[in-house]
A and B are shown apart, each in its own frame.
Chain A
């Protein structure tokens, strides 16, 4: 009979292989449409919302980048000062004086979602672009996204989010990660399964946002919740793969963990909110919810198995050493080392190589557009080490989520 652990390994392999085929087939069937952008049939007016909390270092650059956009019908750029304690408000006011389109909306601190909801009441544009105050959309980003709204079912459009500075190793890892995510997100778009409209740049139909009553103020990741809410309300989310918005990624492990914990807790909150739709109601219940939940579950469970194995190994080594000392015999002997690989090792290696090939292809595809390069070592380190940090943060996040020890800041 197969051991429980063998069954678990085989189940993991099956799921990983399934998603590998799903993404590969989706790419093959839609490769000609990867870079296509619908023609702009109507020049919708666009209001840009920039929520800012203590963003004195980046707010000016973000606003100026938005103003450099080649989309002609940006009618206003609203900086929402969310009770910043630094000089964000002063810089925002100076920008308001300097540029006619810039407006400042000052309010007490209440979080990003509430800031956006309050600003939503005063925006004049038919489309609402949300841009994080530390992000920098391409000149062509908004113009490449507007055309998607020719389809009245489209509620939001996202674009490639990439890392702005790759000046340290952690940021290089995140640069690889963001690129792979951008590639797979575009593929998910072909399946009507984009599950997040990320903060560095997302363009929404104002009517769609009003219909879903804006952003969920209780959710730690209002961009995931909004995406699910829109899909649940019958809207589609599309992605423009030709443009990009760059964002400042965490430069230290501490900041990175903090950010990821927030993302994961937001993910848990969203799953809980929409749990009643499991296996119901279109792509949300049939794919996004299971896909999102399974990836969280596999991460947490996988880490559990990993630690269980490590713990047993350590205990085994400790006891063996103890008995060996008592018997006055060698603690380790050459015969103890068993280098015979199991069939599961072979299958695991094949799967890893396929995964690596997918990552390399995704990077090649995206790098050919933006003329960047990743070192071979970065990609290997990302695939072997960086990816393994995810389940660790997932477990910490789960602990915080279950004990209620979390806040937005």
Chain B
């Protein structure tokens, strides 16, 4: 009698282990599938960035006008802005794997490259308005998180209002990218979230869209 009882405890443990692992494997697979779909978008964006970089090289030889470069940069920035927003919506729901986090980091690198490119373009053409939004991706601080939600909403509204007049580049500041860390150091950003407007003004406190618009050219 006792032996058969022990069996049922072990049998239950075996079945639990089996189905639990099956569930985990299924979960990891689902998250990987999500990651794969973003990988495809990422590769496309990567091509767009190289295209944008190539365009700015062409501008050095005066083959292209500032307007053409500006349009290309805005188009690319908008594209990765939307993709990154979708990515983040899935990212926070990925619990078992870090697959989307790696893609997120890659996007941050793309956006850092875009930031660098825009700075060069602005230096040459001087008529671009751009906003770099630096936020803390890994933070658990509820105050910072809520501030970031509002900043994000505010900047989306601003982008909607201003359309092609501004380039919005949101970047996770804690992505551990050397080039990004260098840029953040260069701009002497003290805390996150921080908003850098046209490379000149750094905002830490939330302001209304109309107040932010005053910093534009």
Residues of A within 8 A of B (CB): 1-3, 6, 9-10, 13-14, 17-19, 21-22, 25-26, 29, 190-192, 287, 312, 315-316, 319-320, 322-324, 326-330, 333, 335-336, 338, 340-344, 346-347, 350
* B residues in contact with A333, CB < 8 Å: 153, 156
The answer to whether A327 and B5 touch across the interface, beta carbons within 8 angstroms, is no
Q: Smallest Cβ distance from B144 to chain A, in angstroms?
A: 10
Cα A312 to Cα B139 in complex, Å, equals 14
With A14-B20, A329-B153, A347-B23 given, name 11 new contacts (CB 8 A). A2-B95, A17-B19, A29-B4, A190-B5, A312-B142, A319-B143, A323-B149, A327-B209, A336-B149, A336-B153, A343-B96
Out of B15, B95, B143, B208, name the residue touching A327 (CB < 8 Å).
B208
* A residues in contact with B146, CB < 8 Å: 315-316, 319-320, 322-323
The answer to whether B15 and A21 touch across the interface, beta carbons within 8 angstroms, is yes
B residues 76-126 with Cβ under 8 Å of A?
85, 89-90, 92-96, 98
Residue of B nearest to A18 (CB): B16
The answer to whether B12 and A330 touch across the interface, beta carbons within 8 angstroms, is no
16 interchain pairs (CB within 8 A)?
A3-B95, A13-B23, A14-B20, A17-B16, A25-B8, A29-B4, A315-B146, A323-B149, A324-B153, A327-B154, A327-B206, A329-B157, A329-B208, A333-B156, A335-B156, A340-B89
The answer to whether A343 and B154 touch across the interface, beta carbons within 8 angstroms, is no
Contact indicator per residue, chain B 18-44, by CB within 8 Å of chain A (1) or not (0):
011001101110110000000000000
Cα A312 to Cα B9 in complex, Å, equals 39
The answer to whether A14 and B16 touch across the interface, beta carbons within 8 angstroms, is yes
Answer yes or no: B150 CB below 8 A from chain A CBs: yes
Contact indicator per residue, chain B 139-179, by CB within 8 Å of chain A (1) or not (0):
00011011101100110110000000000000000000000
Q: Smallest Cβ distance from A371 to chain B, in angstroms?
A: 31
* B residues in contact with A312, CB < 8 Å: 142
Give the residue among B20, B98, B209 with the most A Cβ atoms within 10 A. B20
Q: Smallest Cβ distance from B108 to chain A, in angstroms?
A: 19
The answer to whether A18 and B153 touch across the interface, beta carbons within 8 angstroms, is no
The answer to whether B153 and A340 touch across the interface, beta carbons within 8 angstroms, is no
Q: Smallest Cβ distance from A188 to chain B, in angstroms?
A: 11
The answer to whether B12 and A344 touch across the interface, beta carbons within 8 angstroms, is no
* A residues in contact with B2, CB < 8 Å: 192
Q: Smallest Cβ distance from A283 to chain B, in angstroms?
A: 8
Question: What are the 6 closest A-B residue pairs judged by CB atoms, nearest first?
Answer: A343-B27, A319-B146, A323-B150, A22-B12, A342-B93, A21-B12
Residues of B within 8 A of A (CB): 2, 4-5, 8-9, 11-13, 15-16, 19-20, 23-24, 26-28, 30-31, 85, 89-90, 92-96, 98, 142-143, 145-147, 149-150, 153-154, 156-157, 206-209
The answer to whether A343 and B30 touch across the interface, beta carbons within 8 angstroms, is yes
Cα A341 to Cα B208 in complex, Å, equals 33
A350 in contact with B150 given A6-B95, A329-B209, A344-B95 (CB within 8 Å): no
* A residues in contact with B23, CB < 8 Å: 13, 347, 350
Cα A25 to Cα B9 in complex, Å, equals 9
* A residues in contact with B13, CB < 8 Å: 18
Q: Binding site of B, secondary structure by majority: helix, strand, loop or mixed?
A: helix
Q: Smallest Cβ distance from A383 to chain B, in angstroms?
A: 21
Cα A6 to Cα B24 in complex, Å, equals 12
Q: Smallest Cβ distance from A295 to chain B, in angstroms?
A: 16
* B residues in contact with A192, CB < 8 Å: 2, 5
Cα A19 to Cα B27 in complex, Å, equals 22
* A residues in contact with B5, CB < 8 Å: 190-192
Residue of A nearest to B207 (CB): A327
The answer to whether A6 and B12 touch across the interface, beta carbons within 8 angstroms, is no
Residue of B nearest to A330 (CB): B153
A343 in contact with B95 given A18-B12, A21-B12, A329-B153 (CB within 8 Å): yes
* B residues in contact with A343, CB < 8 Å: 26-28, 30-31, 94-96
The answer to whether A326 and B206 touch across the interface, beta carbons within 8 angstroms, is yes
Residue of B nearest to A282 (CB): B2
The answer to whether A338 and B8 touch across the interface, beta carbons within 8 angstroms, is no
Cα A19 to Cα B95 in complex, Å, equals 24
Cα A10 to Cα B96 in complex, Å, equals 10
* B residues in contact with A336, CB < 8 Å: 149, 153
The answer to whether A191 and B143 touch across the interface, beta carbons within 8 angstroms, is no
Cα A338 to Cα B88 in complex, Å, equals 10
Q: Smallest Cβ distance from A159 to chain B, in angstroms?
A: 22
Cα A350 to Cα B26 in complex, Å, equals 13
Q: Smallest Cβ distance from B205 to chain A, in angstroms?
A: 8
Out of A2, A17, A329, A338, name the residue touching B93 (CB < 8 Å).
A338
A1 in contact with B98 given A21-B12, A26-B8, A347-B23 (CB within 8 Å): yes
The answer to whether B150 and A320 touch across the interface, beta carbons within 8 angstroms, is yes
* B residues in contact with A329, CB < 8 Å: 150, 153-154, 157, 208-209
Residue of B nearest to A3 (CB): B95
* B residues in contact with A9, CB < 8 Å: 95
Cα A343 to Cα B23 in complex, Å, equals 9
* A residues in contact with B206, CB < 8 Å: 323, 326-327
* B residues in contact with A22, CB < 8 Å: 8-9, 12
Cα A287 to Cα B157 in complex, Å, equals 59
